[in-house]
Structure 1
Amino acid sequence: MAKQNNKARTGALRIIGGIWRGRKLAFPEVEGLRPTSDRTRETVFNWLQPYIGGSRCLDLFAGSGALGFEAASRGAAEVVLIENNRQAFMQLKQNAEVLQTPNCHIENKSAEHAIGALNKTFDIVFIDPPYQADLWTKTASDLLSHNLLSDGAMIYLEYPAKQDRPDLPSAWYLLKEKKAGDVKYCLFEFHAGEDD
């Protein structure tokens, strides 16, 4: 009889820039968790380079933490990582301890509940939900209704390439858009006071 392995399966990702460049971080292999590829992260953080230093970032569907930890590594003053999956959350906490980062705050709750509880504005927001959940439009609307975006905030959005871009608020102006394999990703700028 074959021995069963009860240990959870894990993958690894690499921080590609900043103070933790080259550091490898584990992430659990849970359904719907897709770490943003190195190539995509490099492009996105090249786009964000003028804005990242000293910024306040929100990673709403943190998963592996690839985007949030990359932002912290590159000089973000504060990064809030939100993850609903308990196993992924525990790994995020462990990775934050390994990195010894006091500026990363990790919460185990849904993006919807986190948005309702947060009481500060953010300069950069990452929105990369599990694709099957189809949460892009609702999340964008919730961010606006709870006033969580600073004027000029940068919003990163990732979604399946085979899908049309989600409906987003008119106050979000598309700055950049690219495709990598089966993924499309965009960078938007929020203009406060614009009509929706």
Structure 2
Amino acid sequence: MRIITGSLKGRRLELPRNLKARPTTDFAKTGLFNVLQNLVEFNGLKVLDLFAGTGSISFEFVSRGASSVTSVDIEPAHCKAIQQNADRLELKQMRVLRRDVFAFLESPGGQYDLIFADPPYDMSGAEQLPDMVLQNGLLSEGGWFVMEHSSRVSYEEHPHWNQTRKYGSVAFSFFTLEEEA
């Protein structure tokens, strides 16, 4: 797995073969970041990556200039792989937390400019994530919440939904608290 663009473009992430994570494809990641570049300024961005898995989304944000990226995952092997890659690439702006995401969201200890979540598609309770994120004061003013999910699921009826982009079986839904996004 490689980093697509930015200061770390082309660098490979070293991952154990038995990692249980479902990594976001390069095709979907490229589409996601093409949309994001029209919504946010990456330089100085404070990012929270929930269900971080391989960490590939976290590394893409760092590569594009995010000043702080917090990666949260409950799986020890995922956290270890992310931390080892961050150490190998000498990325001081990354923080890896081994926590249950739902427990973390109850007391996150700060605000973020962008929150990304990629829960397992079949996870019970995943549909509650937009409300949990948007109602708990986690987003800074003008911030965005982006959720990766199956393209068969729709969040268009959510009051803070802004748009959904589909890339094959993968979809990204974008939410904001701003009225005029």
TM-score in terms of structure 2 length: 0.88
Structure with greater Cα Rg: 1
**Gaps spanning 5+ residues in structure 2: where?**
none
2:32 to 18, 24, 44: 44
- C-alpha distance after superposition, 1:55-113 (max 9, x if no partner): 11000110011111100110011100001101111111101101101111100011112
| 1:30 corresponds to | 19
RMSD: 1.9
Determine helix, strand or coil for the equivalent of 2:83.
helix
Query: 1:168 deviation in Å?
Result: 7.1
Q: For residues 134 and 166 of structure 1, what CA distance do their matches in structure 2 show?
A: 16
- C-alpha distance after superposition, 1:138-183 (max 9, x if no partner): 222222332101122122211112x32148751x2313x2222221
| 1:85 corresponds to | 75
Determine helix, strand or coil for the equivalent of 1:64.
coil
- Which amino acid counterpart does residue 150 of structure 1 have in structure 2? S
| 2:161 corresponds to | 173
- C-alpha distance after superposition, 1:35-62 (max 9, x if no partner): 1111111121122224222111000110
Query: 1:25 deviation in Å?
Result: 0.2
Q: How many residues align?
A: 176
**Structure 1 segments of 4+ aligned residues over 3 angstroms from their partners:** 28-31, 166-169
- Which amino acid counterpart does residue 99 of structure 2 have in structure 1? K
| 2:86 corresponds to | 96
Query: 1:185 deviation in Å?
Result: 1.8
More helix by share: 1
| Cα pair distance change 1:160/1:168, threshold 3 Å | same
Matched, 1:114 2:104: yes
Determine helix, strand or coil for the equivalent of 1:82.
strand
Percent identity reads: 29
**Gaps spanning 5+ residues in structure 1: where?**
1-12
Determine helix, strand or coil for the equivalent of 2:74.
coil
Matched, 1:164 2:164: no
